[in-house]
Amino acid sequence: MLYVVRHGQSVWNAENRFTGWKDVPLSEAGINEAKNVGELMKNMDIHIDYMFTSNLERAKDTGRIISSYLGVIPSKSCELLNERNYGVYSGLNKNDVKNDKGPEYLHKLRRSYTYKPIDGESLDDVVKRVGVFMNNIYTDTDYSNDSSNDSSNDNQNILISAHGNSLRALFVHLGIKNKENIESFEIPTGQLIQIDLETKEYKYLNPFRFHGRQILDSRGNPTVEVICKNSNGKTIGRGSTPSGASCGSKEAYEMRDGNTKFNGKSVMKAIDNINLINNTMVLKESNMLNLRNIDGQIVQIDGTKNKELLGGNTTTAVSFCALDAISKLRDIEKFEYIQEMTNNTNLLFIPTPLANVLNGGKHGSGGLQIQEFMIFIHEEYDINRQVEILHDVFFSLKKCLSAKYGKSSTNLGDEGGYVPCGMKTNYEALDMLMESIIASGHTPNKDVFVALDCAASEFYESDNALYEIEENVKLTGEELRNYYGTMIQKYPFIKSIEDPFDEEDYVNWSEFTRSHGNTINIVGDDLFCTNKELVEMGLNHGWANSLLLKVNQIGTVTESIESAQLMLKENKKVIVSHRSGETNHSYIIDMAVGMGAQYVKIGGLCRGERIEKYNRLLEINDIILDKKQI
């Protein structure tokens, strides 16, 4: 087996300078990187029979440090493994070159396969000399030693300690990479890679590793859970992926097996893809403390628009797991890390929860077309008071429903709201909410407000451009705008409407936002799919004034935060949301608090996976108060 390692960070690496053939020593960080590689190889019980290094001290010193962990290793240095010669650019700062020549020239200088600077080498030149090394010195060296009876390098473990470009050249020589894709292939300092010369397969060896398993979500369907372990086998992070019932067409791809197991809903293919992530990601401690870096690597490995290679359910679980691992490694709360990550310098506050109390559409089996009728409490009330009032109204509603529609109308939907059998019209639902709020001893439009999730794409008929807003009531987009306008006027406690139109009915979105956006939240869910590109388009065209953020719609925590920050920068609203098929972690609450989102959407006051999120709100409130941040 062949192992290769890029030398630890040099002093010039730390200063962002071109090194090339200049003999530059390791920095303190580089010495530690080399020590970490040695410790990792020792923990993984990797025995090295022979080592090659370049002639440059930073590569030789890296090899010496690694050897101190593994014992004496026969070795040979060879100038054919030296770094690429940057010629006249050696020693220059890369940012200075960028400012002088432009970013495109800097990229060409660093990564072009054929470009050769004055007095320097192209990567093609390096490939040729590395090829000479492999075809002659590597194959002709006598690997025999006292501990082995087999002198064939085919049966030996060989380590090469060299440089970013000479190792990239090696990958091209071996046929693992080619001159087209080598430009995007990065090897960080202090990174250990294992190469099988027979299969041409390689994998990054890291002190951290992700492991996947299939678990069940709140609807009993399979989903992905990921744990992160360190090199000692200790679990340091955990994350899992929720699943939606009504989904936007532009959401990240949810990978399921489509076989006979779990009615085709098993996720073993998605879990298998975690091996690809492990083998091609850099998971050193410096990376494991940086969620943007981890999520960026995930996006690069997948390389598709909607996570079609890895599966959005895979990437979401890994991203959540990484967030959890970072908080544990740093011994801080997840919301504190998100606050740092988003550069949120504002005082932290507890977002207002939207509680699902009546389920229709795909979340229930009653007669309502609107998918969710939610309530929320005045934002100025503290979270303990808000939860108390939510409780009062939720159980008052149960009594009112039972009295009018029978006990069967208090059955629960996917998100913990009641499913009122026999209730056919949206006006009936709003009247019932009005009645239950008053019966609970609170005042509509003062203490308690209503938010609707229409999920209009589910009742939109694209062939005739009509919306069946109620059974046998079909309206044009303009008529539906008027329908909502009348409803808002009659029920002024309605302060938020989510997905009032089909996800691509942009004209009606814009018109409705123009006419009502100053008085209520008009929330894009399927409209935006937590996608930064769609959010930018929506801001430019005035589609909506609020974003519903769902991490698994886009596939990583970082990407979802980027979408939210676009909205918050424009003083728009962000609602961090659960899904109908949930799991028992509450990381979305930490996200909402850390980034400064105004609302969280987390379901009814029942079902453990929803209650977990309410309890996290209460817990974070106490933590913040204890730290006197508010």
Tell me which amino acid residue 345 is. Answer: T
Q: Report the number of distinct structural domains present in the chain.
A: 3
Nearest to 252 by CA among 559, 607, 608: 559
Distance CA 300, CA 294 (A): 10
Q: How many CB atoms lie within 10 A of CB 268?
A: 18
Domain ranges, residue 234: 208-331
Percent of the chain predicted with pLDDT > 90 = 89
Distance CA 100, CA 217 (A): 54
Distance CA 2, CA 196 (A): 6
Domain boundary among 205, 220, 244: 205
Q: Which residues contact 233 (CB under 8 A, 6 or more apart)?
A: none
Distance CA 72, CA 64 (A): 9
52, 138 in Cβ contact below 8 A?
yes
599, 351 in Cβ contact below 8 A?
yes
Domain boundary among 205, 237, 268: 205
Q: Which residues contact 450 (CB under 8 A, 6 or more apart)?
A: 373, 374, 375, 376, 430, 433, 444, 491, 493, 494, 495, 496
Position 264 in a domain: yes
pLDDT in tens, 150-187: 545 567 899 999 999 999 999 999 999 999 999 989 89
Same domain, 492 and 596: yes
Residue with the bigger pLDDT between 392 and 144: it is: 392
Same domain, 319 and 404: no
Distance CA 28, CA 43 (A): 22
| Residue 597, CA distances (Å) to 3, 418, 424, 574, 591 in order | 46, 27, 34, 5, 8
Assign residue 284 the CATH number of its domain: 3.30.390.10
Q: How many CB atoms lie within 10 A of CB 575?
A: 29
Same domain, 8 and 24: yes
User: Terminus-to-terminus CA distance in the chain, angstroms?
Assistant: 57
Percent of the chain predicted with pLDDT > 70 = 97
Position 430 in a domain: yes
pLDDT in tens, 398-416: 999 999 999 989 999 889 9
For 462, the token pair is 């694209």
Assign residue 415 the CATH number of its domain: 3.20.20.120
pLDDT in tens, 435-483: 999 999 999 999 999 999 999 999 999 999 999 999 889 999 999 999 9
Mean per-residue pLDDT for 340-359? Answer: 96
Distance CA 19, CA 87 (A): 10
SS3 361: helix
**pTM (two decimals):** 0.92
pLDDT at 546: 98
Distance CA 156, CA 4 (A): 14
Same domain, 137 and 280: no
Nearest to 111 by CA among 59, 163, 165, 174: 165
pLDDT at 232: 87
Same domain, 216 and 181: no
Q: Is the pLDDT of residue 365 over 80?
A: no
pLDDT at 44: 92
Same domain, 552 and 581: yes
pLDDT at 526: 95
pLDDT at 146: 45
Among 316-325, 385-394, 469-478, 565-574, the range scoring the smallest mean pLDDT is 469-478
398, 418 in Cβ contact below 8 A?
yes
Position 557 in a domain: yes
- How is 95-111 classified by DSSP, letter by letter? HHHHHHH-HHHHHHHHH
Domain boundary among 297, 331, 365: 331
Query: How many helices (H) and strands (E) would you count in the chain?
Result: 22, 20
Residue with the bigger pLDDT between 295 and 580: it is: 295
pLDDT at 154: 62
pLDDT at 235: 97
Mean per-residue pLDDT for 367-377? Answer: 92
Same domain, 243 and 133: no
Position 396 in a domain: yes
Distance CA 417, CA 72 (A): 67
pLDDT in tens, 14-50: 999 999 999 999 999 999 999 999 999 999 999 999 9
Mean per-residue pLDDT for 193-217? Answer: 96
Position 35 in a domain: yes
Position 288 in a domain: yes
Same domain, 47 and 176: yes
Distance CA 43, CA 40 (A): 5
3-class DSSP string for 544-590 = CCEEEECHHHHCCHHHHHHHHHHHHHCCCEEEEECCCECCCCCHHHH
Same domain, 213 and 195: no
Q: Is the pLDDT of residue 138 over 80?
A: yes
Q: Is the pLDDT of residue 202 over 50?
A: yes
Position 299 in a domain: yes
Assign residue 106 the CATH number of its domain: 3.40.50.1240
Same domain, 178 and 323: no
| Residue 322, CA distances (Å) to 267, 269, 554 in order | 20, 21, 16
pLDDT at 242: 96
SS3 418: strand
Beta bridge partners of residue 546, listed in sequence order = 523, 573
Helices 334-341 + 587-595 axis angle, to 10: 40
Q: Is the pLDDT of residue 366 over 90?
A: no
Mean per-residue pLDDT for 432-437? Answer: 98
Read off φ and ψ for residue 594, nearest 5 degrees. -65, -40
Q: Which residues are catalytic?
A: 415, 550
105, 28 in Cβ contact below 8 A?
no
Same domain, 499 and 581: yes
Distance CA 110, CA 95 (A): 12
Position 336 in a domain: no
pLDDT band at 270 (very low <50, low <70, confident <90, very high): very high
Q: How many CB atoms lie within 10 A of CB 349?
A: 17
pLDDT in tens, 611-626: 999 999 999 999 999 8
Q: Which H or E element spans position 478? A: helix 477-490
Distance CA 435, CA 440 (A): 9
Strand order in 473-475's β-sheet?
460-461, 466-470, 473-475
Q: Is the pLDDT of residue 248 over 80?
A: no
433, 396 in Cβ contact below 8 A?
no
SS3 370: coil
Helices 164-173 + 123-132 axis angle, to 10: 70
Q: Is the pLDDT of residue 106 over 70?
A: yes
pLDDT in tens, 510-561: 999 999 999 999 999 999 999 999 999 999 999 999 999 999 999 999 999 9
pLDDT at 139: 85
Same domain, 213 and 191: no
The mean pLDDT value of the chain amounts to 94
